[in-house]
Structure 1
Amino acid sequence: MKRTILYILISTLMFSLMEIALKSAGNAFSPIQLNLIRFFIGGLVLLPVVLGHFRHSHIHFYKKDLAIFALTGFLCVVVSMTLYQLAIVYDQASTVAVVFSCNPVFSLLFSFLILHETIHKLGLISMILSIVGLLVIVNPMKLTNPVGLALAIGAAITFGLYSIISRWSSVMSGFNGLTTTCFTFLAGSIELLILALISHVPMVAHGMQHVSWLASFSNTPILNNVNMHYFWLLFFISVCVTAGGFAFYFLAMDLAGVSMASLVFFIKPGLAPILAMLLIHENISINTIIGIVIILISSVVTFVGHRMAAAAKDLDDDLDNDDLA
């Protein structure tokens, strides 16, 4: 149990520092470039662990798995994390952290729509509370940053979709969460690299420059500012936050299950804004504080729901075993 708590604490700290670290990169890297760097390095760091797992198991890699990882890589790295990175550019790190932490609620919704899983009463209450918390933070009557907010919500929704498809693919392929994450990172990085290279084609670059929201993606840099001056920042973002955060999250999941590991996203909405205030001196409004409290309550409700569902499943399994005996 002590190891599980340690893994959860490390993962929570890394994920809570994520927006702050990315915000600290400033204008040194473009959003696409920073995503490409951090997920490629993160995937490479996880790869030796995954290959070691392959050697000690009887799991095989098939061609169909490439298609699955191409899909999860596209959803996670190309779409969700690009929206997430852009949200950090346009909005406060604390706000993005809180909004993105609502992704388990969207996962719950997609599990109902895609996997046809039942949404229990506590899950429904959690969804409603999270929406209320978001509305309090956003304050639609005085909306000052619709772009940043829309990007953060888009990142949370698409990450929720990625989570469900990733979970489905893990069941279908037999891969554990760490393996799926590693190959998702690498596949998404390759897709992002292809898109970045395409943006350097003169005809494509010229066309993108004539579309306002695409202009900033024209001639996307790849290795600009990748030097010793930014070494420790890139190391922290890629190895500690991206690879380490996800690695410890899935280690906690392997030891104690989804409900315990999900504590990471339940603690983050409260911790990330405090760290943002202390480290990069972001102001936290009264609305944001009230919204954070509501979302934390929503997280507790979700956690209790997970524990009750797990207990019910264990009871059913015990009854089935008794019947067989």
Structure 2
Amino acid sequence: MKRTGLYIALSTVLFSLMEITLKSTGGAFNPIQINWIRFTIGGIVLLPFAIHSLRMSNSMIHLADLKLFALTGLMCLVVSMTLFQLAITYDKASTVAVVFCSNPVFALIFSNLILKERLGRANLISVVVSLIGLLIIVNPTHLTNPLGLTLSISSALTFGLYSIISRYGSLRRGFDGITMTCFTFLIGSVELMVIMFITKIPAVATAMNHVSWLKQFSAIPFFNNVTPQYFWLLFFVGVGVTGGGFAFYFMAMELSDVSTSSLVFFIKPALAPIFAALLLSEDVLPTTIVGILVIIAGSFVAFLGNKKRQRV
């Protein structure tokens, strides 16, 4: 139990520092470039764990599995994480961190729509309460940054959809979470690399430069600013946050259960704004604090409901 608590604590701290660390790059990296770097490193860090898991379960990766990883990589890295990185660019790290933690709410909704899994009473209450918390943080009557907020919610929504696609694939193929995540990262990084090469085609780059909001996607660099100045930041984002954070999360899950390990996402909404205030001097509004507490309450209801269902 001590090891489980340690893994949960490490994963929570690393995930809570994710938005703050990415924000601290100060625009030195293109949004897709930083995603490609950190998920490539993260996938390589997770690879030994995934190989060990495949050997323990006497499983192999087949061509059909690569198609599955291509789909999850597309949804996670290309869509959700690109929106996430853009949200960090346009909004406060603390806001993005809290809104992104609502992704389990969207996952519950998609599990009902796609997998036909019944929403229990506790999960239904959790969805309603968490959405109320989001509305408190968003405060539609005083919306000052609609773009950043839209990107944050879109990232959380698409990550929730990715989670269900990954869960569906995992059930069909028999892979555990760490294997699914590792190969999603690696295949998704290849997809990002292909997109980056396409943006370097002169005709494509020129066309993008003529559209204001597409300029930042024109001729996306691979190693621009990958210098000693940013070495430790990239090391921490790739090895620590992306690789280590997920590794500790899945090791906690293996030693306990999904409900216990999901405490990571219940604690992060409270911890991330504190880190943002301390490290980035971001202001935390009273409404944001109230919204955080409401989201934590909603998540805790789901946690208790899942624990009760597992006992039954």
Query: Hey, what does 1:321 align to over in structure 2?
Result: none
The CA deviation at 1:210 is 1.9
Query: Hey, what does 1:110 align to over in structure 2?
Result: 110
Higher mean Cα deviation, 30-39 or 245-254? 245-254
1:42-121 alignment, distance < 5 Å: 42-121=42-121
The CA deviation at 1:192 is 0.4
Query: Hey, what does 1:209 align to over in structure 2?
Result: 209
Do structure 1's residue 230 and structure 2's residue 230 form an aligned pair? yes
Q: Is the CA contact (8 Å cut-off) linking 2:208 and 2:214 kept in structure 1?
A: yes
Q: Is the CA contact (8 Å cut-off) linking 2:70 and 2:188 kept in structure 1?
A: yes
The CA deviation at 1:3 is 1.0
Query: Hey, what does 1:257 align to over in structure 2?
Result: 257
Do structure 1's residue 181 and structure 2's residue 190 form an aligned pair? no
Q: Is the CA contact (8 Å cut-off) linking 2:54 and 2:179 kept in structure 1?
A: no
Cα deviation digits, residues 53-112 of structure 1 (max 9, x gap): 333431121110000000000111111011001100100000000000000000100100
1:243-322 alignment, distance < 5 Å: 243-312=243-312
Aligned residue identity for 1:208? M
Cα deviation digits, residues 146-196 of structure 1 (max 9, x gap): 000000000100110111111111111111111111100001100001001
Aligned residue identity for 1:195? I
Q: Tell me, what secondary structure is at the counterpart of 1:59?
A: coil
Cα deviation digits, residues 198-253 of structure 1 (max 9, x gap): 00101111111222321210111111011211110000000000000111111111
- Which of structure 1's runs of 4+ aligned residues deviate more than 3 A? none
* Partner Cα distance (1:156, 1:241) in 2: 18
Do structure 1's residue 31 and structure 2's residue 38 form an aligned pair? no
The CA deviation at 1:13 is 0.5
Aligned residue identity for 2:295? I
What is the TM-score of this pair, normalised by structure 2?
Answer: 0.98
Query: Hey, what does 1:167 align to over in structure 2?
Result: 167
- For structure 2, the residue ranges without an aligned partner over 5 or more in a row are none
* Partner Cα distance (1:167, 1:8) in 2: 21
* Partner Cα distance (1:176, 1:156) in 2: 22
Percent of residue pairs identical: 59
Aligned residue identity for 1:63? L
Query: Hey, what does 2:132 align to over in structure 1?
Result: 132
* Partner Cα distance (2:200, 2:101) in 1: 34
The CA deviation at 1:30 is 0.7
* Partner Cα distance (2:146, 2:209) in 1: 23
Do structure 1's residue 239 and structure 2's residue 227 form an aligned pair? no
* Partner Cα distance (1:162, 1:250) in 2: 17
Higher mean Cα deviation, 287-296 or 211-220? 211-220
* Partner Cα distance (1:60, 1:51) in 2: 9
Query: Hey, what does 1:322 align to over in structure 2?
Result: none
* Partner Cα distance (1:246, 1:260) in 2: 15
Query: Hey, what does 1:150 align to over in structure 2?
Result: 150
Aligned residue identity for 1:40? T
Cα deviation digits, residues 29-69 of structure 1 (max 9, x gap): 01000000000011011112222333343112111000000
What is the TM-score of this pair, normalised by structure 1?
Answer: 0.94
Higher mean Cα deviation, 46-55 or 253-262? 46-55
The CA deviation at 1:122 is 1.3
Cα deviation digits, residues 111-154 of structure 1 (max 9, x gap): 00010000011111111111111111111111000000000000
Aligned residue identity for 1:132? I
Q: Tell me, what secondary structure is at the counterpart of 1:6?
A: helix
* Partner Cα distance (1:288, 1:56) in 2: 45
Q: Tell me, what secondary structure is at the counterpart of 2:116?
A: coil
Aligned-pair Cα RMSD in Å: 0.9
Query: Hey, what does 1:319 align to over in structure 2?
Result: none
Query: Hey, what does 1:15 align to over in structure 2?
Result: 15
